[in-house]
Chain A
Amino acid sequence: MCLGVPMKVVSRDGDTVVAEVDGVQREANVTLLEENIEIGDYLIIHAGFAISKLDEEYAEETIRLMREVFSEEDMA
Chain B
Amino acid sequence: MNVAVIPALNEATRIAAVVKAAQPYVDRVVVVDDGSSDGTGDAARAAGAFVLRHPENCGAGAATMTGIEAARRMGATNIVTLDADEQHDPKDMPALLAALATGVDVVFANRFGQCNNIPPIRRVFNGIGNIVTLAATGMWISDSQCGYKAFGPKAVQELKLRMNGFEFCTEIVRETVQRKWTYTQVPVKVLYSEYTLAKGQSFANGVKTALKILLRSFLR
Binding partners A and B? no
